[in-house]
Structures are given as structure tokens and as C-alpha cells.
Copies of this chain bind each other. A is one copy, B any other.
Amino acid sequence: MNNELSSLVVQEIGEQGLLKILQRFCPSEIIGDDAAVIATEPGKNLVVTTDVLVENVHFSENTTSPEDVGWRAAAANLSDLAAMGAYPLGITVGLGLPGNITVSWVERLYQGMTECLQSYDTSIVGGDVVRSPIVTVAITAFGQADPYRIIRRNQAKIGDAIVVTGVHGASRAGLELLLHPEKAENLIEEEKTFLIHAHQRPKPRLDVVPILWQILDSYSQTHNGPSLLLPIAGMDSSDGFADAVVQICRASGVGAVIESTRISLPKVFDHWLTKKQALEFALYGGEDFELVLCLSKEPADELVQQLGQGAAVVGEITQGSTVVLRDPNQEFPDQILTLSQGFQHFG
């Protein structure tokens, strides 16, 4: 091909490098968000997202039951729909399976997916099963959204409040406990269960979408029209809170200031982790599947109040291009957040 990178192997250019090359094959207007948006007819958009999970890369028998693999795979895809402001219509499941895997394992995988989907009133609508030397689970989720209310990464405006819909770091902490059970020594059973559950059964925040639109609806009625409040920017925090903020800012051509003390953490972190460790889990841990949203201050405050449970305004969109993490107590120096600390899938 007409590209000097073509002769390299994919691990040399990394996931981001490869995605950049592959995007040349896709219509440019539908790239760069948690899901693709396709206009089907006036008044409705189809929103589509795909994830592939590979045994021993994304899950392993040691830390994850088949039910949990299924739940998390479904949750990740529903989270992408929530991040776009879409309602789910269904998912398809493409499975690669070794011939010697038990039927029970596959049933338990489907059981986990179905449990997650049923919580959100949606279901598996189709799929494919093929032979493969390694277990591979490819999920495509599709949903529907109002074209005027699609949430995108590139729509953050200077002055927007930055909202998190819940606590960050719990999933990463749960993984830590599964990998190193001895670290649970100072935790009571309830705390341990909470963190492990956060890792094994993360909840996609589809519940946020109707609340958000209802706030905007009532706000627009008292302020003569919705145009000032739209569009809303956002994505999910599947790769960590820091990744989400940096991705949104980069896509929107803006910067941000985040107050580190306002990032909601699980209460148990107070007595279990150092402040530094707690913040690292929250910033870079990933898989909490909360939403990071950028919108005007008044509806942002209203959203935070209605959601409760760790929802918070954590910062503000600014001019420029840097994302600054500021500690109002000045225990830690200002920090510039970048993507480089995020997970590089081929690294």
C-alpha cells in the first residue's frame, strides 16, 4: 500500500497507530466515538459498537468465571451505547471456540451476557459460532438515538462542567484483590465484595441517558429552547477517567482543569490505600464504565444531584489543549494528564 508504515508489524505501531491507518477505509464522519452513528431516516440514528475479547488477553480462567466474562462483555458494549446517548436495541455475539471447551462453559458465558442485558431490557438477537484454537467473543451492540442528542467526544465547549456519573477506581481495586487476595487483610467482607463486584459486574450507565434528556427538556422549557444546552460531549471511562477526559479534550480541541479531590472514590479507599494509590486507580484503572460528560453548569449540577451515588462535577473545560489535574490542597503538584499512561493494546 501507499504507506511507509506498511512494512512494519502491528506491535511496532501499536493500537492507536493501526487504528489511524484503518480509519482511511471508513467514512470520516463516523469515526472517533464510542460507537458509529448511521442515519437511517429522519428522526432516528442507528448507533453501533463492536468489541472483541480474546482468552488470555482480555480474560483468563484465573480471575474470571464465564458468567463474568459474559456480563462484562455485554456491559462494555452497552456502556458504549450509553456514552453516545443511545437506547439499546440488541446485541449479536460472534463466538470462536475450541472443540474441547465444555458446552457448560458456553452456556455460562451466555447466561452472564443475558443477565446483564435483561437488566437493561435488551437481548441477544443473533450471532455466529465457529471453531477456533482460542476462545474469542466478538460482540456488536446496536441502539437508537435522537440525531440531535447524540453525545460525541468532539463537542466539549469552553466553560462546560465536567461530570462523572459515579466513583472511579473500584473495578481496578477489585482486580487487585482477585490477583492478590492477601491485600484484603484490612477490609471487611462488605468492602471486599463491593470492590470485586465492581470488577466482575460493572454496570453500564444506560440509566443516565433518560435522566439527562429529561433535565434538558425541563431546562429548555424554562429557558426558551434547548439550543444553548446542546450538544453534550462525553464518553465512557472504560479505559480510565484520565483517558476519557484527555480523549474528549483532544477531539474537541480544548483543555480542562480537573480538581483531583473531586473525583469520586469508593469510601473504602480512605483507609485502605494511600492517596496516591487511590488516585492512580481512579485515573488509570479503567473498566468502571461510568460516563464522563461535558455540559453547561446548571444542568450539570442538576444531573449530579439526581444521580447521587458518587456523581460529581470534577472540573471544567478550558481554552488550550492541556488537561491539568490540580490538587486544591496542594499536597501534590499539578499534573498534566496524557494518553501515554493508558493501556496500549499491542504495546
Contacts and interface: CB of A to CB of B under 8 A. Distances in A.
A15 B129 contact: yes
A94 B92 contact: no
B130 A52 contact: yes
Stoichiometry, copies per complex: 2
A150 B104 CA distance: 35
A142 interface: yes
Nearest to A39: B89
A9 B103 contact: yes
B128 A25 contact: no
Interface residues of A, number: 78
A144 B89 CA distance: 14
A81 B232 CA distance: 34
A18 to B, nearest CB: 6
Contact of A18 (B13, B18, B98, B106): B106
A128 B89 contact: no
Given A35-B126, A44-B41, A10 B99 contact: yes
A228 interface: no
A100 B11 CA distance: 6
Q: Which are the 4 A-B pairs with shortest beta-carbon distances?
A: A11-B99, A138-B138, A36-B126, A140-B140
Interface of A: 1, 3, 5-11, 13, 15, 18-19, 21-22, 25-27, 30-31, 35-36, 38, 40-41, 44, 46, 48-54, 56-58, 89-90, 92-104, 106-108, 110-111, 113-114, 123-134, 136, 138, 140, 142, 144, 345-346
